[in-house]
Structures are given as C-alpha cells and as structure tokens.
Amino acid sequence: MEHQSRQRIADSWAVLFQPLAAGEAFDVQSYLFAPRYQARLAGTLIQHQRTALAFVAGRLDAELKLAQDIAAASSSPEMVSAWTDFLKTATQQYGAAARNLLQLESLELIEASGAGTAGELRDIAASSQIMA
C-alpha cells in the first residue's frame, strides 16, 4: 500500500516535470491549476472555520449568561425560566446552523457538478423560502 502511494506521487511529479517535446510551448495555465484550486479550497475551509467558531463563541456567551441568570435568580421558577429560555434559544440556533450547513454544502455540490452557479442557486433557494 505504501509503495503504491509513493509510486503515485512519483508519477505525478514525473508528469509535472517531464521535458517538453521540440517546439511544444510551456502551458503555464495547466501548471497553475493546482495552486489556484488549493487557494480556493483553503479560502472555503477558512470561511467554514470562521463561521463555526463564531457559532461556538455565541453558544459559549449564552452558557455564561445562563450561569449568571441562575446565580442571580431569587426563586426556583426564575431558575427554570432561565433554563427554558436557554434551551429554546439553543434549539433554534442549532437548527438554524444545521440548515445553513446543509444549504451551503448543497450549493457547493451543485456548483461543483456544473448544474448552476452558486449565485443562481441562492436566488432559487431564496425564492423558494419566500414561497414556503
């Protein structure tokens, strides 16, 4: 298995650095495809991470507020109310995050398949949400 992996890497490098035939022009664009793709992928991943971290930060703030609300409560009903509000908000936020993630992944898959651009698909999704 390891030998096959090493061989694939060696084959890839051999293709990249094979000598050009006489009179053949060097095609820079084909060699720049990989770095451009990697940069685009890295940008997408970083955006996903930023979104996830913002969500987690918001949830941590809500948990801190819950602890403060419980500590400040003067009766059991106030504590139950704090918990209820916290759970309701958390459920709504986790549901919204899951929907956003599914929508984003669907758009990326459809765009990658060539079925349409992300902008066109977002317009369709927005109009379908308005109608729902």
Which pLDDT value is given to residue 47? Answer: 84
pLDDT for residue 13: 59
- pLDDT at residue 89, as a whole number: 95
Report the pLDDT value the prediction gives residue 39, as an integer from 0 to 100. 80
Contact 58, 93 (CB under 8 A): yes
Instruction: Please give the Cα distance from 68 to 104 (Å, whole number).
Output: 35
Question: What is residue 20's predicted lDDT score, i.e. its pLDDT?
Answer: 57
Q: Which two tokens stand for residue 42?
A: 């890295």
Q: Which of 61, 56, 57 is nearest to 86 (CA)?
A: 61
CB distance 90 to 62 below 8 Å: yes
Report whether 28 contacts 20 (CB < 8 A).
Answer: no
pLDDT lower than 50: segments of the chain? 131-132
CA separation for the pair 38, 40 (Å, rounded)? 5
